[in-house]
Every structure is written in C-alpha cells, then in structure tokens.
Structure 1
Amino acid sequence: MGDSEQEVISSSEASQRFEWRVERIAWVLAALLFALALLGVFGGGPLSRASAGSSDQTVQVDYERFVRVATSTTLKVVIAPRAVREGEVALGLSHEFLEAVTVQGITPVPAAVASRADRVVYRFTAPHEGEPVKVTFDLRTEHSGLHWARIGVEGAVPARWWQFIYP
C-alpha cells in the first residue's frame, strides 16, 4: 500500500468517526425533544399544567404554562372566602396579559366590568357565604411570546405567573 492510499484510508476513518459523533449528537437531541414534548413543554402535559397563588393566599389560579397561538386555554381562579365583601368580590386581571389573549367567556358572568390603568376589574356576586368563589376564564391566545400576568382581589396581593405562547 502506498502513502497516498494510506492517507485516503486514514482520512476516510477520521471522516467516519466525525459522522458517527454528529449522528449520536443528533439522536440525543431528537430523544431530548421527544421527551420534552411528552412532558408538555410544547403544550398539554405535566410540565405545561401550573398553578400560581398570591402570597397572602387570597387567590389561586390554575393555567397552562405552554400554549400555541390561536388556540383556546382556560384560567381557573379560586378566591378565598375572606376576600368577599358585602356579598361581592372584585378580581383584577392585568392589561399586560389581556393584550396577549381574547376573553371568550367568563363563568360565572361578572356583575360588572371596569378598566383601570393597569388591569381590568371583574366584579362577581359570591354565590354562598363562607365558600370560595370559583371563576373560569375561557381565553383564546392571540400573540406569541412570553407573557407575564397578575390576577388579584382588590386591596390584596396579586398572584403572578407567566405563560409562553408558541407561534
């Protein structure tokens, strides 16, 4: 075997080892993406479901951390009984978050809605004295990206969370 043939074989072996490394890395990345998808990073799994609560425990919100644009999602809010004043509770949701979504429905229907500088305030009638007030917001996502949100009872500490909306 001549020197040029040895160089070709040596070059071919080095090229083969490089291709194998690239292939292994690609397989690891594909497996990682698959695992993340199963866990819900791209929506609809255990990593996607999340809860946030205010530090004073007046508000608890359940939501999806990862959603796609132009899809429906839900916020489920539970308001502590101590937040009810004279049979009503006022719940504020930040404009910052509402700019990224469209509210398609609210259950129960609010008795009144008012816009403030940094939030929209929904006023609800408490159905039963001494029980938590449960509110569901049915939303449609409109703008992709990372969106921060605040929801809270008037005069109390709000719950804060983020939601990532995929394009």
Structure 2
Amino acid sequence: MVGLIKQQDAQATAMTDAPPDTPGPRTQPDDAQQDDFAPRHYPIADQIARQRRTWKHERIGFVVLLAFIALALSGLFASGPLSRHIGSSPQQRLTVEYERFLRNGASSRIVLVARTSPSARATLRIDQAFLRAHVVESLQPQPLSARSHEGGLELVGQADERGEFSLYLTIRPDGIGLVRSTAWFEGDSVVFTQFIYP
C-alpha cells in the first residue's frame, strides 16, 4: 500500500516537473476545414480573391494567344486561306490571283490570266499604284514586249491554243499600309486591294 502511494506521488511529480512548452497534440484551425478556395490564415495567410483574378487573367491571355495563332495560320498576317484571293472582271476575261496580306520585304506572287482568242496577242496593263508599292522581281513567261504606260506597266504576250495568256509576277512589297491596284485587259479591269504589314 505504501509502495503504491509512492509510485503515484512519483508520477504526479514527473507531470509537474515537465517543461511548460512541451508540445501537445496539434489541431488544425477551423478555416483549414473550409473550402480549398476560401481565404485562410494557416499555415500562411493568402488572398484567394486576388488569386482568382490572376487565374482569370491567365485564362483570358491563353485564349487570346490561341486566337492569335489561329489567325496567323489562317493567313491574316501572311500567306494562307484568308490571304489568298482571286478577283475577276465582270466578263470573266481577266482574273488576278493574289495575296491580300503581305509583309514588307517578303516576296509574293501575282498571277494574271487573260482570256482571248487562241494564239492571239494579249495586252495586260497594271497601274502606277501597284508599281509604287511593289518591286517586280521577275516575270514568267517573258512577255513579247514591255513598256511604261501612264506611269504603270504594259505587257504584251501571246495566248495559248486555249486562248489564255497567263503571266506570273514575283513581287516584293516596298511600303506599308493599304494598296489599291488595278489591272486591265481590253477594256475589262480588276481592282485588287492588298495590305502590307511592316
């Protein structure tokens, strides 16, 4: 009996002598039990409202980036489906195939097709606005004759057995902005507009 009392006294003394800063069982604060997107102060203080705004801006930026890439691939800034276009005269005797969006200094191509009698001579004219905005690097096939006409260019060639005269021009834009050009063939004309990026 005396030994049991001594043992209980020893246990009480050990509990009393324990340091006051001995860590006990830790419990998480109440806000840790809340929704993951709710503001909390444990283990660090956060500002979920600001974080939500940041996530929203990131999503908007990602969508804008995807739209920009899609427009670039479609030809809004250079060669592509949105850029390629074919213009025809009312009588369909002259067609012009060209790129609507160009980059300054980057080569491009324009195809002019005149329809006339088989093996007949065809005279194509391009206005001054086109020559001022572009440098003509090459002509295929070589025309029978080429001369200046009212500040523009007059090209004479011979149609094939189907009555078509096709002229391929390799051009290099030398300017910036919107260019409105005109091509003529025997009274028919095609107006084509191009935008040149820097």
Q: TM-score, normalised by structure 1?
A: 0.81
Find 1:98's aligned residue among 115, 118, 131. 131
Matches of 1:22 and 1:94 in 2, distance apart?
Answer: 49
1:116 equivalenced with 2:116 (yes/no): no
SS in 2 for 1:24: helix
Structure 1: gaps of 5 or more residues: 1-6
Q: Which runs of 5+ in 2 are unaligned?
A: 1-38
Aligned to 1:107: 140
Task: Give the share of equivalent positions with the same residue, in percent.
Answer: 31
Report the aligned-residue RMSD. 2.7
Where relative contact order (Cα < 8 A, 6+ residues apart) is larger, the structure is 1
The answer to whether 1:161 aligns with 2:192 is yes
Shift >6 Å, 4+ stretches = none
2:183 maps to 151
Identify if the C-alpha distance between structure 1 residues 150 and 8 changes in structure 2 by more than 3 Å, giving closer, same or farther. farther
Give the number of the structure whose residues are more often strand, by fraction.
Answer: 1
Greater gyration radius: 2
Q: Distance in 1 between matches of 2:102 and 2:92?
A: 26
| Counterpart check, 1:141 vs 2:191 | no
Report what 1:4 is aligned to: none
Aligned residues of 2:95 and 2:112 also touching (Cα < 8 A): yes
Normalised to the residue count of structure 2, the TM-score between the two structures is 0.70
Q: Distance in 1 between matches of 2:176 and 2:166?
A: 28
Matches for 1:15-26 after TM superposition, within 5 Å: 15-26=50-61
Tell me the matched-pair count. 158
